[in-house]
Amino acid sequence: MNKITRLMTVCAALLLIVPAASAVDWSDNFDSYALGSGLHGQGGWAGWDGSVAADAFVADTEALSAPHSVRITPTSDIVQEFTETTGEWEMTAWCYIPTGSTGNQFFIMLNMYTPDGVANDKWSVQLKFDSDAGIVSNTMHGSTASAPLIRNTWVEVKIKIYLDTNMQDTYYNGAFMDSTPWQDGTGANEIAALDLFSDGGSTIYWDDCKLIQTNIALEHTTWGRIKTLLQ
């Protein structure tokens, strides 16, 4: 049996036994909400610790997938909760920072979050968008990774999360930034929340947020088996 025939045979067999590589657990493109409405109380979103004062608002000024995105104002601190406790995951979200923006905005993920006003929350991801310095930086777990801030276009943020090994990989605009632990030993190997937060920074926009369960380890194993069989 030549290599091409073996490849076709192996691929046909693997199609029968290998499950889908990924499955969408949660997504939001903000298009189903009324223009100008607050996210608090819609689609599982709520202000930090349940505060409506931390709301963010549905907008059509900019949108990656028309017609809407979410507008993060200087007072926004809007949270979506999750309950994932095992496996491999990928969080993606797209950010639009207008020319002339100022101040600091954050993309945050937590491994522990309870909206009760008690300081028992644990951060895993804290990407800081510093419009004044023109830099995006990873500010968690001793990371020193940074990249130039991109304005006036939609840019992807991606976090690959490996709960079973307590690791994560961070990407900005398709480029790898760094690998760090998911939690520092005082938290949990869980995905508890996404938080879109402004520390008084000027208005920016987010769109097409998505949390996907992936099967990266299985993909690697599968293709490793194919390579071995073809040798």
Q: Are 108 and 138 in contact (CB under 8 A)?
A: no
The half-sphere exposure of 153 on its side-chain side, counting CA atoms within 13 A, is 5
Output the six-digit token pair for 179: 């690998």
pTM for the model stands at 0.85
State how far Cα 103 lies from the chain centre: 22
Place of tokens 């036994």: 17
Output the six-digit token pair for 3: 């290599």
Using 70 as the pLDDT threshold, list the residues of the chain that sit under it: 1-23, 216-231
Helix (H, G, I), strand (E, B) or coil at 98: coil
DSSP H helical segments within the chain, as ranges? 3-17, 216-230
| pLDDT reported for residue 215 | 77
| pLDDT reported for residue 15 | 42
